Amino acid sequence: MTTARAARLLWVVPLLLAHLLAAAPAARAADEPAYVPTVLVTGANRGIGLEYIRQYGARGWNVIATARRPAEATELNALAAANPRITVEPLDVSNYDSIDALARKYAGKPVDVLVNNAGITGNARAQVLGKLNWPEFEQVLQTNVIGPLKMVEAFLPSIEASRQKKIVNVSSSEGSIGSVIQGRTYFYRASKSALNMEMKNLAAVLAPKGIAVAMINPGPVDTDMMAGMPKSALRTKEDSVADLIRITDRLTVGTTGVFWNWSGEQLPW
């Protein structure tokens, strides 16, 4: 090698090294896997909950689909078999140990959207004045009110660890005190009003952490819960869940603590 060529190389080598080093972080960023958000849905084996799994699954999200009796959740298991991002987990929201066990399993893992969907109306005959059935009322409260609050407390670290940080509660217009014209279904109505109140509180407490909370009425939807109602009066699960997800997508800390109707308007408390 001539002296002139060796001198040229002395210049070129550091320049090449500098170029490679500058390019390296960009190359690492491009190699990083894209962030995939995670949704956790309670009561995911049928009705609105199952439709949530279909729609979030189709979006490519990680889906934690929970059910009281996963072994019997045939349709849900079929969805999970066809989509590796859907995981089916046992969860009874009326059982504290069941909630704690699932939260322990997902400790340290992000949950972007927690959907408190599981709910019961309680037997209508148990909600007639003079024949009020107190154990039935307790079960409605345990499922619709205590369960969702316990879910938030147990999964708070996972929600905080996520990017989207959203808590969505499938509420009901039956919980709107301002809309009451006739008296009916004391247990169910009281439970949804109480759900709204506890979640409104949470919205205020969690806003400084960047966590947004919504209560959403899905409208009258064609599920087992509405068996016996004329189909013409009911919305499809597909339309209803698309509305719920659209409201969820737009949810921010700036709009936290609102009681939404499926149509995007606000409902009276």
Ligand X SMILES: NC(=O)c1ccc[n+]([C@@H]2O[C@H](COP(=O)([O-])OP(=O)(O)OC[C@H]3O[C@@H](n4cnc5c(N)ncnc54)[C@H](OP(=O)(O)O)[C@@H]3O)[C@@H](O)[C@H]2O)c1
Contact positions vs ligand X (CB under 6 A): 42-43, 45-49, 68-69, 91-94, 117-120, 143, 170, 172, 217-218, 220-221, 223-226
Would you say 222 and 51 are in contact if contact means Cβ atoms under 8 Å apart?
A: no
DSSP helix/strand/coil, 126: helix
Angle at CA of residue 244, ends 180 and 192, nearest 5°? 35
Report the SS3 class of residue 55: helix
Least distance between ligand X and beta carbon 225 (Å)? 4
Task: Please state the closest distance from residue 229 (CB atom) to ligand X, in A.
Answer: 8
Query: What whole-number distance in Å separates Cα of residue 102 and Cα of residue 120?
Result: 21
Cα 83 to Cα 16: distance, rounded to the nearest angstrom: 45
Which member of 52, 56, 106, 188 is catalytic? 188
Q: Specify the residue, 200 or 210, whose C-beta has the smaller distance to ligand X.
A: 200
Work out how close the CB of 170 gets to ligand X at its nearest, in angstroms, rounded to a whole number: 4
- What does the block give as tokens for 42? 């309670």
Please report, for residues 40, 75, 246, 257, the alpha-carbon distance to residue 166 in angstroms, rounded to integers and kept in the order given: 11, 27, 13, 11
User: Residue 77 CB, nearest distance to ligand X (Å)?
Assistant: 13
Residues facing 170 on adjacent strands: 216
What is the number of alpha carbons within 13 Å of residue 143 lying toward its C-beta?
20
Could you tell me which of 113, 112, 118, 72 has the C-alpha nearest to residue 99?
118
Joined tokens for residue 179: 């809309």
Q: Which is nearer to ligand X, 32 or 265 (CB)?
A: 265
96 a catalytic residue: no
CB of 90 to ligand X, least distance (A): 9
Choose between 9 and 229: whose C-beta lies nearer to ligand X: 229
- Which residues are paired to 114 by β-bridges? 40, 167
| Dmax (CA) of the chain | 108
Q: Which of the residues are catalytic?
A: 188
